[in-house]
Structure 1
Amino acid sequence: MLKNIVAIIVSYIAMFVLLMAIFTGLYFALGVERVFQPDSYEVSMLWIMLMLVIALLGTMFAGYLCAAISKSWRTCQVFALIVFLLALWHCFSAVRRDSEGPNVRAGDVTYLEAMGHVVTPMWLHFANPVIAGVGVLLGARMKRRGLVSPAV
C-alpha cells in the first residue's frame, strides 16, 4: 500500500517538475512574440500545439513512472483519476477567472507576468484534463505491456 502511495506522489512531482521545466524553457527559447499573438496575451497556435503534445508526452512519462514504481495497473488507474480531477479543477478555476481584462501586451514581459495574464481558448481548458488522464493511462500501459525497454 505504501509503495502505491509513494508511486503516485513521486510520479506527480516528477510530472509537475518536468512539465514546468519544459514549458519555462520553451517560453524563453521561443520568445514572447512566438508564444503570444502580436500585442496580446492570447496564446499563439504554435504554443497551443506544443502545449498539447508536451502535455501528452509528460503525462505518459508520469504514467510509465507510476507503473514502474508500483507495478500495479490499479494504482496507475487511481493516479490517472487523480491527475484528471486535478486538471479538471484547474479547468474550472481557469474558466471562472475573469479574462475580460486588458489583453493588450506591450513589448517584452516577464514569464510570471505573462502567465498571470495569459488568455487561452476555452476548448483548451476542457481538453487538458482528458489529455492528462489519457496520457497517464497510455504511459502506464506502455510499461505494463513492455513496449519500452529500459536502457541497459
Structure 2
Amino acid sequence: MGRAIISVVLGYVVMFATIFLAFTGLYLLLGQDLSFRPDTYEPSLLWIVLSFALGLAAAVLAGYVCALIARRATPPKVLAGVVLVIGILSAIPVLMAAETPAVARTGEVGNMDAMMKAKQPAWVAVANPFVGIVGVLLGARLRRPPTIV
C-alpha cells in the first residue's frame, strides 16, 4: 500500500516538475512574440500545440515512473484519476472567469509575468486533464513487461 501511494505522489511530482521546466524552457525558446498573440496575453496557436505535446510527454513520463515504482497496474490508474480531478479543479476558475477586457501586452514580459497574466482559452483548460489521463495511461503501458504467447 505504501509503495502504491508513493508511486502516485512521485508520479504527480514528476509530471508537475516536468511541465514547469518544459514550459519555462519553451517560453525562453519562443520568446514573448511567438508565445502570445500580438499585443495580448492570449497564447498563440504555436504555444497551444506545443503545450499539448509537452503536457502529453510529461504525463507519459509520470505514468512510467508511477508504474516503475508501483510494480502494479492500479496505481497508474489512480494517478490518472488524480490528474483528472486536479485538472478539472484547475479548469473551474478559467471557466468561471468573467469576460474581462483584454489587457494590452507592452514591452518585455518576463517568464513569471507571462505565467501570471496569460489568458488560457477555456477549451484548453478542459482538454488538458484528458490529455493528462491519456499520457499517464500510455506511460504506464510502456512500463509493462511484454506478454509471452
Q: TM-score range by the shorter chain?
A: over 0.9
How many residue pairs end up in the alignment? 146
Residue type of the partner of 1:52?
Answer: F
Change over 3 Å in CA distance of 1:99–1:118 after alignment to 2: farther
- Who is 1:42 aligned against? 42
Moved runs in structure 1, 4+ residues, more than 6 A?
none
- Who is 1:150 aligned against? none
- Who is 1:4 aligned against? 4
- What is the RMSD of the two structures over their aligned residues, measured on CA atoms? 1.3
* Contact preservation (8 Å) 1:83, 1:133: yes
How far did 1:114 drift? 1.6
Structure 2 counterpart SS, 1:31: helix
Aligned counterparts of 2:93 and 2:42: Cα–Cα separation in 1: 18
TM-score by length of 2: 0.92
- Structure 1: tracts of 5 or more residues without a match: 147-152
Aligned counterparts of 2:35 and 2:77: Cα–Cα separation in 1: 34
Aligned counterparts of 2:145 and 2:107: Cα–Cα separation in 1: 49
- Structure 2: tracts of 5 or more residues without a match: none
Residue type of the partner of 1:8?
Answer: V
Q: Which has the higher mean CA deviation after the structures are superposed, 104-113 or 127-136?
A: 104-113
TM-score by length of 1: 0.91
Aligned counterparts of 1:65 and 1:75: Cα–Cα separation in 2: 11
Q: Identity across aligned pairs (percent)?
A: 35
Residue type of the partner of 1:116?
Answer: M
- Who is 1:135 aligned against? 135
